[in-house]
Amino acid sequence: MVKINQVGIGRKSSGTIDGITYVTRGSVTYARSAPTMPASMFNSPAAKKRQAVFKMIQMHLKYHLKTIRQTIMPKGNGNASNRYFSLNFKALTLALDALAEQYVAGEDVTITDVENAISTYAAEHPTSITIGSMSGYRDVFLTGAWPDTITMNALVGDSTVIIIVNENGVQTTYHADGTVSVSNGNGANLDHNGNQNGGTNGTNETDGTDGTDGTNGTNGTDGTDGANTGGNTEGGLNETGEEGSGD
């Protein structure tokens, strides 16, 4: 692959022109000769199995993309999902091998099937699938089902970062110095104290209990209802867009 430095059609384009394929990664465009392969290369049983594995890895990536963007540091001009794919392609291929055969045979495969196969493999090979890889921190491996919380421990010192990405794409990071930062699915900080803008949801006070009978035999008065306190909080925004993975 050749890097394109001059201004020209390759600088602004992606695709194949006259046997040359242009690929843009980040802000850099590369050129390479387009591969020529017979159609049989894509229709053989082995090829169909590889295609099935790739499709299931894409399902897995999309399912955990919000977390992967926070816990996997990109390399070079790539992105987090490309880096995750590169780190784990071999292990994920082995994990999904039997499921790929079922898919090629015409059986339906769901994301639940994919996650179960990967979780089972990870439990048997607890240092094979990397789910956390950030500069200055120890790698974190999948050891079973995908966790709700990923803790990154520093290579030197006691710095720890705990990353939680919920279903709405809101990331909560607890830093070693005790501070908390929250960002929505688009990466925007919401509040340095860990709260979104606006008051937090108030809690309802419990109703007062009936008073006991007094000495003169009269009933005590009922307690008053507690008032709702606090304003409503606005939920985090859903993240949009998808990232493909590649070499």
Please state, rounded to an integer, the average pLDDT across all residues of the chain.
74
Q: pLDDT over 70 for what percent of the chain?
A: 61
pLDDT for the residue 102: 95
C-alpha distance from residue 224 to each of 57, 201, 203, 218, 228 (Å): 58, 21, 16, 19, 13
Note whether 131 and 146 are within 8 A (CB). Answer: yes
Secondary structure in 3-state letters for 180-206: EEEECCCCCEEECCCCCCCCCCCCCCC
Cβ atoms of 169 and 236 closer than 8 Å: yes
Q: Where are the domains of the chain?
A: 2-33, 40-156, 166-202+220-240
* 3-17 pLDDT, tens digit each: 555 545 544 456 666
Tell me: pLDDT of 230 over 70: no
Q: Write out the H or E segment, with its range, that includes residue 30.
A: strand 28-33
Q: Which has the higher per-residue pLDDT, 197 or 63? A: 63
The residue among 58 and 225 whose pLDDT is bigger is 58
Residue 73 contacts residue 83 (beta carbons within 8 Å):
yes
pLDDT (tens digit per residue) in 97-115: 999 999 999 999 999 999 9
Q: What is the pTM of this model?
A: 0.60
| Segment among 65-79, 81-95, 96-110 with least mean pLDDT | 65-79
Classify 239 as helix, strand or coil.
Answer: coil
d(CA 43, CA 39): 7
184-229 pLDDT, tens digit per residue, is 755 454 443 334 443 334 334 344 444 444 444 444 444 444 433 3
